[in-house]
Structure 1
Amino acid sequence: MTKLTLGSHPHMLGFEQLERLLERTAKSGNEGYPPFNIEQTSEQSYRITLAVAGFAEEDLRITVEDRQLVIRGRQRDDSDGRVFLHRGIAARQFQRTFVLAEGVEVGEAVMENGLLHVDLTRAVPETVVQTISIRKG
């Protein structure tokens, strides 16, 4: 039995890129840190919120790379000269990746009370009707 993929289905032309995107998303290896929410704020907008307590704005980096929103955090270890009797809050780093659909744009990012909010908007595509003329061969 042959494995049927999006790119090989006869009625799904040009979806090879979507199949690669799904494979890449499955392999992204996002761990459970930091926790996040994704909410729909209107018909055409979304908000991703990450719990980044302990991170300053300069510890975070937000980029869009090949239709992926990548949020990275890297805390500096500021324990020089300090003696901890218990250290349960470790300086850690993370990378969270979110695949963006075609037409989704990243808006502003706001840090508030240990939460990083990243706003996204989706452009509504125009409906295009194209008539193809038939010529005699």
Structure 2
Amino acid sequence: MRYDWSPLWRSTIGFDRLFDAFDEVQRTTEDNYPHYNIERLDENRFQISVALAGFSPDQIALTAEQNVLTLEGRKPEKDSERVYLFRGISTRPFKRQFTLADHVEVKSARFEDGLLVIDLVRQVPEAMKPRQIAINGAQPRQPERIEAKAA
């Protein structure tokens, strides 16, 4: 039996080392709206880009609570000013959640070329970072002096 880890892998930020082995995992047919990318910029910085064509910043809510980042969007129900012959740009309401690893924080969010770009940073507290411990012990011995006698 083969397990599909992709829903967990694709919406989890900061756990990337844990899921490196699942890089080739088959994608599921879950609701994938809106489309997004998760990018690791370096060891402690990540970026989520979400395609939100047709949405404005006031129609989007971004909430970080504990280790969950929630993105919600809702357009007004009726757009009475426009008559569409074809409507291919989806503007349906959505809710997308991302699980964040410990100490991963949202630093900023901005709209850029039709994308909502969310910057994340892993900031491990100093008390939790590895540190070098000095080992105390006996004082180093002084070399013994050997006195030679003249022959």
CA distances 1:85-113 after superposition (whole Å, capped 9, x unpaired): 33333431111100011111111001011
Deviation, structure 1 residue 126: 1.4
Question: 1:77 touches 1:91 (CA, 8 Å); kept in 2?
Answer: no
CA distance in 1, matches of 2:84, 2:46: 41
In the superposition, the TM-score normalised over structure 2's length comes to: 0.59
Question: 1:34 touches 1:50 (CA, 8 Å); kept in 2?
Answer: yes
* Deviation larger for 78-87 or 107-116: 78-87
Residue identity matched to 2:55:
F
User: How many residue pairs were aligned?
Assistant: 101
Q: How does 1:19-38 map to 2 (within 5 A)?
A: 31-38=31-38
Deviation, structure 1 residue 83: 3.2
Summarize the Cα distance change of 1:90–1:37 in structure 2 as closer, same or farther, 3 Å threshold.
closer
Tell me how large the CA RMSD over aligned residues is.
2.2
Residue identity matched to 1:103:
H
Q: How does 1:90-109 map to 2 (within 5 A)?
A: 90-109=90-109
- Where does structure 2 lack aligned partners over 5 or more consecutive residues? 1-29, 134-151
Larger radius of gyration: 2
- Where does structure 1 lack aligned partners over 5 or more consecutive residues? 1-29, 131-137
Question: 1:49 touches 1:116 (CA, 8 Å); kept in 2?
Answer: yes
Q: How does 1:1-137 map to 2 (within 5 A)?
A: 31-124=31-124, 125-127=128-130
Identity of aligned residues (%): 40
